[in-house]
Structure 1
């Protein structure tokens, strides 16, 4: 029986385990919290840090395949495991791009994917060099999720809200809708795309309030979104399940 590992034991890990129960696999989970949502559904639980090289490597070295429930994992360990024959989904090279917002934005630019203008800052002081770029959104390059690592900067008075770590300063877009599309890619390249959902956010917390599924979209916008999502995932050149998040602006771009 194949041995499949999951890095992270949160709600997504639990849902993944529920699907895995339909297949002849032994499931392993690596997570620091012994009482995490996934801990009681897997066959084997290992307490450890998904960002620690040794923890990830030791966890994965005797498995057949390894996947993630969150992108902030130790990709160096995953690269070594992949070199030793463990199948990693998504590939470590793709994860390096996904987990770092600076690399993400450069990836979009290099592949001519539609994205808002951006600058890279190393600290708060750098913000003073770009006052003409405001209003903008300051995003820490790593470890930002669920509203963390994101600050809206309307004017110079907001500089103190910024981050003292390498970050992206992204030109603010007048957003009409925020859409997410799930794209699944098999090892043989076979691809499935799922209906887009409309994500409605709390403007103060930058957290998801609720989703509308399927999204209410004009047909032309729908096809544009699908094309961008498929192209983005294709350029990552990796199997896996990807959530592609997109803005629709007031001009339907």
Structure 2
């Protein structure tokens, strides 16, 4: 079997290409850090009382922390209703009568959601993150759906980008991907707004027990950015030029001072 000879130039080129492939950075696999929030009263801050002006939750992953804050949206009269968190999750929507078809009290774990003295309905609640994130999925710890077509809309009140989630086809302790995942800027307020849940004495109640989001990679401080290595071919060229320069300097002798005809320095 005949073998094709390989020239020295071919060997050098092959070695350079192989070295270049070895030094080339691998493609990035991670596009962000995924955080999973548990939204029961045990993980809320403050944990007590059950109802507070706001509830903060913290999730950690890959050495990072992400904070999520829920605060109640304003009532029509301008007063804010406190946020209620129970062992089953955080109350994000309550509408309708005293209970599910008049069976028991279902006001987000209290006789009335919030501070227990206001109206039973809670049509909206606000939330924000302290970093830029993308919404991924959610789950309910308690869900009672009455007559009608109850919907929950997640979105910035000033933006057309929203995700509308139905309630009639959901189960508790089951993760559901958002129908329209979207990116939320740091400290951008989102509103969860419910509609269609109250029909007569029928009641709808949704307690959110979990929320999963993806936070994007954090930019390193400018001072910590160090230059990367020179490209392989450029580094080799620089090394060759430096070697030639050193060779020329080593072969050149010292320069003697010029003298006149009598041998004296000029």
Q: Same fold (TM over 0.5)?
A: no
Q: Which has the higher helix share?
A: 1
TM-score bucket (shorter structure) = under 0.3
Q: Structure 1 length as normaliser, TM-score?
A: 0.25
